[in-house]
Amino acid sequence: MTISDFYKWLKKDWAKTGFVLSIFLIVFLFIFVRKYDPVVFVLLLQTPLYMLHQTEEYLFPGEFGKFFNTQIFKLDTVDRPLDQNLIFFINVILIWIILPVFGLLSIIDYQYGLWIPYFSFFAGIAHILLAIRAGKFYNPGLFVSLTINIPVSLWSIFFLINNGILNNFFLNFHIIIGFGLNALLPIGGVIMLKNYQKSS
C-alpha cells in the first residue's frame, strides 16, 4: 500500500478506525498507564473517549455533517458547506494529533495537558446547545456527550483539584484554552457559512 492509498483509505474509514483504536487505547491506559501515573492516565483517557464521541457523530448513527448543514445552518444541502474533507481534517488533527500529543507532553509537565478535560467538557456542552438551537431532542454525538464525555471530564477536573494539580475549577488558564478551542468551531462555522452563501 502506497502513502496515497493509505491516505485515501484513512480518509474514507477514519471513524471506523477510531472506534477500534479507542477500545485498544482504553484497555491499554487502564492496564499500563493508570498505575504508572494516575494524572497522565486521566489526561490521556480523554482522547479515546472522544473517539467514541466521534463514532456516534460519524458512524453509529453518524450523519453529524448532515445534521449541522440542515438543522444548524438551515440549508437544503446535506453535504455542504460542512463536507467530508473538513470533517476529516478537523477531527483527525484536533483529536488524533493535538489531544494525544499534549497528553503525552503531560508526562514531562502536567501543565501541558490540563486543558484537555475542559475541552472535552465544553465539547459535550456544545452538543446540548446544538440540540437547543436545532429544536431537536437528539443530534449525533449527544448521547456519548451526556453519558461519557461530560461526566468523565467533570470527574477528571475534580480529580485534578483534589490532588492539588488544579487550584480551582474556574480560576485557571486551562479552562480558557478548553473553552477557546471549542469557541473557534462555531466562529469558523459562521465564516464557512458566509463564504458558502457568497459562492452560491
pLDDT of 58-87, one tens digit each?
999 999 999 999 999 999 999 999 999 999
Contact 67, 139 (CB under 8 A): yes
The 10 Å Cβ neighbour count of residue 64 is 22
Q: How confident is the model at residue 122, as a pLDDT?
A: 98
Q: In whole numbers, what is the pLDDT of the chain averaged over residues?
A: 96
Quick one: average pLDDT of 29-44? 97
- Shortest CA distance to 197 belongs to which of 75, 40, 62? 75
Over 90: is that where the pLDDT of 43 sits? yes
pLDDT of 90-128, one tens digit each?
999 999 999 999 999 999 999 999 999 999 999 999 999
Q: How confident is the model at residue 200, as a pLDDT?
A: 76
Q: How confident is the model at residue 155, as a pLDDT?
A: 98
Can you give the C-alpha Rg of the chain in angstroms? 17
**Predicted confidence band of residue 14 (pLDDT cuts 50, 70, 90):** very high
Distance (Å, rounded) from C-alpha 7 to C-alpha 21? 17
Q: How confident is the model at residue 1, as a pLDDT?
A: 77
Q: How confident is the model at residue 105, as a pLDDT?
A: 98
Residues 6+ apart with CB under 8 A from 20: none
Q: Domain extents for the chain?
A: 3-199
The 10 Å Cβ neighbour count of residue 8 is 12
Distance (Å, rounded) from C-alpha 15 to C-alpha 51? 8
Q: How confident is the model at residue 64, as a pLDDT?
A: 98
Helix (H, G, I), strand (E, B) or coil at 168: coil
Question: For 103, what's the count of Cα atoms within 13 Å in the CB-facing half-sphere?
Answer: 27
Whether the pTM exceeds 0.85: the reply is yes
DSSP helix, strand, coil percent of the chain (3-state; round to 5): 80, 0, 20
CA angle 156, 159, 164 (to 5 degrees): 130
Over 80: is that where the pLDDT of 27 sits? yes
Specify the residue for cell string 467530508: 84
Over 90: is that where the pLDDT of 24 sits? yes
Distance (Å, rounded) from C-alpha 131 to C-alpha 168? 30
